[in-house]
Structure 1
Amino acid sequence: MNDHVRDLASVREATDRLLTSAGKLDNAGVTQPSHLPGWTRGHVLAHVARNADALVNVLAGRRMYASAETRDADIERDAPRPLSVQLQDVRDSAALFQEAGAAPADWTRTVALRNGVTDDASRIPFRRLIEIELHHVDLGVGYELEDLPEDFTGREIAFLAARFAGNPDVPAVLLTAADGRQWHTGRTQGDPMPVTGAAPDLLGWLAGRRDGASLNTSGALLPALPPL
């Protein structure tokens, strides 16, 4: 069961961590490449801010983005801004998201995201937490997958495993973390391929942040995962 109040608090804490890390950059550092191909750190920060706006729209029952083209254009527009402007935008948009999350609402209702995806309103704060935590890593400022809160890492592995579960293009896989936690994903038919490793490495592979080279597959090739 989703606890949106707890997740909103986690979003606030994660946002503060991201702002502290990004605040150590300078204007030149914002223009440097991030860990995401084709994106500078400015693109990442702009996306984090615009995603907050988009999720406010979702909670209000509006379209998440006017269009995919508008989403992309807004990020390109905002990416070159000076560091101080980037940080204030992330801070202000995060405050608006927290305000929307604190408003009285039916958290059991279904809300619409992008590309026909729907979800329970109560999971929107966790979706925002995913954006903050993973893009903090993407900034390339020393915050790594190993630095993510353990509870978040487990929940995000479960979230992504569920996303790929039943996908006919992904073979059956049994993920096992070093601490014994397990998750199934991929097709439901056939014996699952065992994939074991540290939880951050499992998350990195599922989220497209690592190639899975450090995972143990007993000699089998890791399957290609669909884009997120």
Structure 2
Amino acid sequence: MIDHARDLASVRDATDQLLNAAAEVNNASVAEPSRLPGWSRGHVLAHLARNADALVDVLEGRPMYASADARDADIERDAPRPLDVQLADLRDSAARFQEAGAAPADWSRTVELRNGVTDVAARVPFRRWVEVELHHVDLGIGYELEDLSAEFTEREIDFLVARFTGHPDVPSTRITDGTHAWRTGRDATEPEVTVTGSRADLLGWLAGRRDGSGLTVVGGTLPTLPPL
């Protein structure tokens, strides 16, 4: 069962950690490239702030974004801002998300996210937790996938494996860290490929943050995963 209140606390803690780390950089560093192609660190920070507001809209029954173009335009508009403005915006938008998440609500209801994706409201705090943690890594300021908590890493692997299960473009795949195994792809009951590695490397590959060079593949080549 999803514990949205516990996840909301995890979002708060992860956000505080990101804010404290980002406060150690400077305006010049904010303008430098992040680990995401085509995005500066300012783009990542701007996206995190706007995503918090977008998820408030989701929780309150409004469209997540007015449009894909509007989402992109907001990020481009906010990306060049100086560090202190970026951090204040992220702090304020995070507080708005915490407030919306703490409001009495039917957490079993279905909500709509981007591109017609739906989910139960109770999973929205976890989705925000994912945004904060992975984009903290994307900033390239010393926080790595290996630094993520064991709970978060396992849950995000579970989530991504479920996302790719049954996908026609992903071959049947067994994924393991040597102690635990997951199955995903077209027919998760008959693995065609076995992918082995550390949980950090597995998560990095599944989340599009690593190329899979640290993984061992048996029974074929490393599957190419569709974009998230």
| Global fold match (TM > 0.5) | yes
Task: Give 1:181 deviation, angstroms.
Answer: 1.6
Task: Give 1:17 deviation, angstroms.
Answer: 0.6
User: Are the counterparts in 1 of residues 15 and 132 from structure 2 also a CA contact under 8 Å?
Assistant: yes
| Distance in 1 between residues matched to 2:138 and 2:57, nearest whole Å | 25
User: Are the counterparts in 1 of residues 52 and 94 from structure 2 also a CA contact under 8 Å?
Assistant: yes
SS of 1:55 mapped into structure 2: helix
Task: Give 1:190 deviation, angstroms.
Answer: 3.9
Task: Report the AA paired with residue 97 of structure 2.
Answer: F
- Paired position in structure 2 for 1:182: 181
Task: Give 1:219 deviation, angstroms.
Answer: 6.5
Task: Report the AA paired with residue 144 of structure 2.
Answer: E
- Paired position in structure 2 for 1:50: 50
Q: Which moved more, 1:216-225 or 1:41-50?
A: 216-225
| Distance in 1 between residues matched to 2:180 and 2:44, nearest whole Å | 31
Q: What is the 5 A alignment of 1:80-159? A: 80-159=80-159
User: Are the counterparts in 1 of residues 193 and 219 from structure 2 also a CA contact under 8 Å?
Assistant: no
Task: Give 1:220 deviation, angstroms.
Answer: 2.6
| Distance in 2 between residues matched to 1:59 and 1:192, nearest whole Å | 40
- TM-score, normalising length from structure 2? 0.98
SS of 1:195 mapped into structure 2: strand
Task: Report the AA paired with residue 93 of structure 2.
Answer: S
- TM-score, normalising length from structure 1? 0.98
Task: Report the AA paired with residue 185 of structure 2.
Answer: G
Task: Give 1:192 deviation, angstroms.
Answer: 3.3
| Distance in 1 between residues matched to 2:219 and 2:121, nearest whole Å | 41
**Identity score, percent:** 69
Task: Give 1:191 deviation, angstroms.
Answer: 3.2
Query: Between Structure 1 and Structure 2, how many residues are aligned?
Result: 227
| Distance in 2 between residues matched to 1:181 and 1:99, nearest whole Å | 37
Task: Report the AA paired with residue 74 of structure 2.
Answer: D
What do you get for the CA RMSD once the two structures are aligned?
0.9
Q: What is the 5 A alignment of 1:213-224? A: 213-218=213-218, 220-224=220-224
- Paired position in structure 2 for 1:34: 34
| Distance in 2 between residues matched to 1:34 and 1:226, nearest whole Å | 22
Unaligned runs of 5+ in 2: none
Please identify runs of 4+ aligned residues in structure 1 that moved more than 4 A.
Answer: none
Task: Give 1:84 deviation, angstroms.
Answer: 0.1
Q: What is the 5 A alignment of 1:162-173? A: 162-173=162-173
SS of 2:116 mapped into structure 1: coil
Unaligned runs of 5+ in 1: none
Task: Give 1:221 deviation, angstroms.
Answer: 1.1
| Distance in 2 between residues matched to 1:29 and 1:191, nearest whole Å | 44
Task: Report the AA paired with residue 186 of structure 1.
Answer: G
- Paired position in structure 2 for 1:3: 3
SS of 2:175 mapped into structure 1: strand
Task: Give 1:46 deviation, angstroms.
Answer: 0.1
User: Are the counterparts in 1 of residues 193 and 221 from structure 2 also a CA contact under 8 Å?
Assistant: no
Task: Report the AA paired with residue 95 of structure 1.
Answer: A
Per-residue Cα deviation, 1:26-73 (whole angstroms, up to 9, x for no partner): 110100000000000000000000000000000000000000000000
